């Protein structure tokens, strides 16, 4: 009896999806928020006494950063979206050292983040054609780190704005709430050139992380507008 009920629910879902598939959106937009997970921007090497070795003794880390984000999409064909995305947030920059003389962790400063990117999203079926619609996204863009007029701790000093190229890829899904309104969940990795250079490493040997990963987790309210009929019903 249980399997018959599950089979009936699946049949209803397929029939409903087939009817919705005959329509597809032309544009979509959304706003929301989320977090960029913490990451190490610069590894520090060597020893405070001046002895150089290859051991990593600490790093400059960007803590978890809350963000506001917005996006706009155009759907030229049923299974492809061209999208623009922006995010804005403020986080804490920290100096972490595995050294008892200098301490294990110190606050450094606040840093403002701005990210703009352009890319595509690929859908296994037409967006908004079912209650749950997954997708994959790819793109390129720039992330700006604004360290302000001066941020200094010990011999480390960062200042001004650093703009770095980003390549992004991720996964997401839309869950229908009401009519053309959906809840969009995304997990996107922004692969970025590090904004910090090796020369900024506490007056000791340091190793610049050539690339860092800013992983963004976000939840947006997304709206599809307007709809057009697909020729031939199914895509």
Output the pLDDT for position 51: 52
> How do beta strands 132-146 and 161-178 pair?
antiparallel
pLDDT for the residue numbered 82: 96
Annotate 171-202 with b (16+ C-beta within 10 A) or e (fewer).
Answer: ebebebeeebebebbbebbbebbbbbebebbb
Q: What is the mean pLDDT of residues 225-231?
A: 66
Confidence of residue 204 (pLDDT cuts 50, 70, 90): very low
- State the sign of the Cα–Cα–Cα–Cα dihedral 142, 220, 185, 76: negative
- Report yes or no: 73 and 81 within 8 Å, Cβ to Cβ: yes
- Per-residue pLDDT tens over the stretch 116-148: 999 999 988 877 767 888 999 999 999 999 887
| CA dihedral sign of residues 90, 172, 9, 28 | positive
Higher local confidence (pLDDT), 108 or 22: 108
The candidate with the shortest Cα–Cα distance to 153, out of 212, 97, 89, is 97
Average pLDDT, the chain: 76
Judge if pTM exceeds 0.75.
no
pLDDT given for residue 200 in this prediction = 54
Tokens describing residue 170? 């991720």
Class of domain 2-226: mainly beta
What are the sequence ranges of the domains in the chain? 2-226
* Token pair listed for 179: 């009519």
Question: pLDDT tens digits, residue range 12-61?
Answer: 334 434 444 446 788 999 999 999 998 888 776 655 455 555 555 567 78
Q: How many Cα atoms occupy the beta-carbon half-sphere of 96 within 13 Å?
A: 15
pLDDT the model gives residue 17: 41
pLDDT at 191 over 60: yes
pLDDT of 9 over the 50 cut: no
pLDDT of residue 147: 82
**Does pLDDT of 231 surpass 50?**
no
pLDDT at 166: 93
Tell which residue, 184, 186, 188, 185, has the closest CA to residue 223.
Answer: 184
- Quote the distance between the C-alpha of residue 190 and its chain's center: 6
Q: Say what the pLDDT of residue 187 is.
A: 97
Task: Tell me how far apart the alpha carbons of residues 30 and 50 are, in angstroms, rounded to a whole number.
Answer: 52
Contact present, 168 and 140 (Cβ < 8 Å): yes
Is the predicted pLDDT of residue 176 greater than 80, yes or no?
yes
Flag whether pLDDT at 205 surpasses 50: no
| Eight-state DSSP code of residue 199 | G
Segment 99-105 shows an average pLDDT of 51
Cα dihedral angle (204, 52, 214, 116), rounded to 10 degrees?
50
């Amino acid at each position: 009896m249980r399997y018959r009920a599950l089979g009936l629910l699946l049949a209803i879902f397929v029939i409903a999806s087939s009817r919705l598939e005959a329509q597809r959106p032309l544009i979509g937009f959304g706003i929301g928020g989320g977090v960029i997970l913490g990451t190490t921007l610069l590894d520090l090497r060597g020893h405070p006494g001046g002895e150089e070795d290859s051991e990593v003794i600490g790093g400059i880390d960007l803590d978890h950063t809350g963000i506001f984000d917005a996006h706009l999409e155009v759907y030229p064909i049923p299974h492809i979206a061209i999208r623009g995305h922006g995010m804005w947030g403020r986080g804490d920059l920290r100096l972490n050292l595995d050294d008892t003389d200098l301490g294990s962790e110190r606050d450094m400063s606040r840093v403002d983040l701005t990210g703009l990117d352009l890319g595509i999203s690929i859908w296994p079926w037409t967006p908004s054609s079912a209650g749950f619609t997954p997708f994959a996204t790819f793109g390129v863009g720039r992330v700006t780190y604004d360290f302000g007029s001066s941020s200094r701790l010990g011999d480390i000093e960062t200042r001004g704005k650093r703009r770095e190229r980003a390549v992004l890829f991720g996964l997401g899904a839309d869950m229908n709430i009401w009519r053309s309104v959906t809840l969009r969940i995304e997990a996107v990795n922004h692969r970025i050139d590090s904004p910090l250079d090796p020369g900024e490493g506490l007056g000791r040997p340091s190793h610049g992380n050539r690339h860092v990963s800013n992983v963004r987790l976000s939840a947006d309210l997304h709206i599809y507008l307007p709809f057009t009929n697909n020729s031939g019903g199914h895509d």
